[in-house]
Amino acid sequence: MAEIKLNSTSITLEEITGTEGEKAFDIGSLRNETGYVTLDYGLKNTAVTKSEITFLDGEEGVLRYRGYPIEQLAERASFLEVAYLLIYGELPTSNQYEDFDHAVTNHTLIHEDMKKFFEGYPQRAHPMGVLGSMIGALSSFYPDVLNPDQNQNDIDRTIHRLLAKSATIAAWSYKNSIGHPVMYPQNRLNYSANLLYMMFGMPTEEYDLNDKTVSALNKLLILHADHEQNCSTSTVRVVGSSQANLYAAASAGVMALWGPLHGGANQAVIEMLQEIYDDGGASKQNVDKWLDRFKDKESGQRLMGFGHRVYKNFDPRATIIKKAADDVFEDLKVNDPLLDIAKQLEEFALNDDYFIEKKLYPNVDYYSGLLYRAMGIPTEMFTVMFALGRMPGWIANWKEMTEEKQPITRPRQIYTGKNKREFIDMDQRS
Ligand code: ACO
């Protein structure tokens, strides 16, 4: 219990404790009882919901989906298995997995009319813009989703469609951007292999899948699959709270993820490394100079891929990705000068007082971009891969919120504009 005293009023706030011991006060009655609201820029101190999906402890570097440690899931599960876990709450039995896998795989094709959409985008269109708008457009092909009273079968079908079709749209947006023919999905392949096939296969020749690359992509997708109330997931919840359909909510999630402070960071990391390389290569002197720039607020530049709103010790996903990346780099015999710069920058930053004091560590995106690059995935597609990975998390959060019938999200504000004033006709304005 906490007591707030405001002038002559005093109210008691109920204490809430999560299953892992996080503590909160429920301020639901604050405004009604006192007339006050809270002001919390960036919602740094605000839990916007209770959730059973993902637990993370930023101080200890812990991430668990439905109780299962991310390290075990990344090592032993498939992406669709993790998607099932996040969305439905339990690991699937083999029968449940078979049904789910079949249901998702069955929906990998997109309506032929949607193929024509690609002709309308400029060739240089950023694939995140294409993905977001086309996911929203899926709702027009399945108008039944506009009915807020859908039954569970309809909801499940939308979930299967969204998971399956977003991968096809993503791969086709890439094919379109390079002027190659689109590759129709191969349902004999698993999700990750199919994605690589649709992105890199050609109708003229056999496409050889590299097992290490497929496995690394599976890991990357799992690591990105959920991260509790991050910017894009909160966006999905905000949009979904108006009872907008799942395609609309997921499309908004894609758009929120696009920003360089969120999912766009993996692209920004590579662009930053390239800029450093172009400026003076991987010499210690050049890397040092850039590190100084990142510490200087006036420069307006940050060391992209470092720092996290929640992880203040280490990002457990970064540790797993670094290991997966090393395996792929070795297997594919990658010799990438940007990797040398990244390793030096990481080492210098981890030993630098500025980064130590501010608790800035490599986040999931520091190495994911280099790994995608080694797989041959172009920079503009990095955030798209992230979006595909995050899709089960968005779906799980949307489902949890709608099942709990949470109220529409409608925050308050503190108005700081002009007080009331009279309208002045245009000819009298100075
Ligand atoms: N490089 C240099 N300085 C940094 C960095 C960085 N990467 N990150 C934070 N700082 C500094 C800030 O300038 C600030 O300094 P101050 O206290 O002197 O003002 C302090 O550290 C705290 O930074 P905030 O932006 O207030 O921290 P917040 O928790 O709000 O931001 C964020 C977290 C946005 C991730 C930030 O660390 C950042 O911009 N990192 C680079 C972008 C990035 O990698 N984003 C991906 C995040 S992971 C994801 O979304 C999947």
Cα 275 to ligand 1 centre (Å):
20
309 lines ligand 1 (CB under 6 A): yes
Give the per-residue pLDDT at 124: 87
Asked if residue 132 has its Cβ within 6 Å of ligand 1, the reply is no
Nearest protein Cα to ligand 1, atom 49: 262
SS3 content of the chain, % helix, strand, coil (to 5): 55, 5, 35
Residue 176 pLDDT exceeds 80: yes
- Residue 261 near ligand 1, beta carbon < 6 Å: yes
| pLDDT above 90 for 262 | no
Q: What is the mean pLDDT of residues 206-234?
A: 94
Residue-averaged pLDDT of the chain: 94
State whether the beta carbon of 363 lies less than 6 angstroms from ligand 1.
yes
Give the residue, out of 257, 294, 306, 394, with the most ligand 1 atoms within 8 A of its beta carbon, to mutate for a pocket test: 306
Residue 336 to residue 110: CA distance in whole angstroms: 36
- For residue 360 and ligand 1, the question of a CB distance below 6 A is answered with yes
Nearest CA to ligand 1 atom 28: 309
**7-21, 181-195, 274-288: range with highest mean pLDDT:** 181-195
pLDDT of residue 332: 86
pLDDT-based confidence at 281, cuts 50/70/90?
confident
Question: pLDDT tens-digit profile of 376-386?
Answer: 999 899 999 99
Q: How confident is the model at residue 410 (pLDDT cuts 50, 70, 90)?
A: very high
pLDDT of residue 10: 87
Determine the atom of ligand 1 nearest the C-alpha atom of 224.
Answer: 51
Residue 110, pLDDT > 80, answer: yes
Share of the chain above pLDDT 70, in %: 100
148 pLDDT above the threshold of 80? no
Q: State in Å, rounded, how far the first CA of the chain is from the last one.
A: 57
CA within 13 Å, CB half, 14: 5
Confidence of residue 147 (pLDDT cuts 50, 70, 90): confident
In this prediction, residues 220-228 reach a mean pLDDT of 96
Closest C-alpha residue for ligand 1 atom 24: 309
Q: What is the DSSP string of 25-88?
A: EE-TTHHHHHS-----GGGTT------SSEEEETTTTEEEETTEEHHHHHHH--HHHHHHHHHH
Shortest-distance Cα residue to atom 40 of ligand 1: 307
pLDDT of the residue at 97: 98
364 lines ligand 1 (CB under 6 A): yes
Cite the active site residues.
Answer: 308, 365
* The two structure tokens encoding residue 424: 């002045």
Q: Which residue type, as a one-letter code, is found at position 43?
A: L
Ligand 1 atom nearest residue 302's Cα: 1
167 CA to centre of own chain: 15
Atom 20 in ligand 1: residue holding the nearest Cα: 358
pLDDT value of position 313: 85
Q: Is the pLDDT of residue 267 over 90?
A: no
Given this model, what pLDDT does residue 4 score? 87
Choose between 61 and 108: higher pLDDT: 108
Quote the pLDDT of residue 191.
Answer: 97
Look at residue 50 in the predicted model and tell me its pLDDT: 97
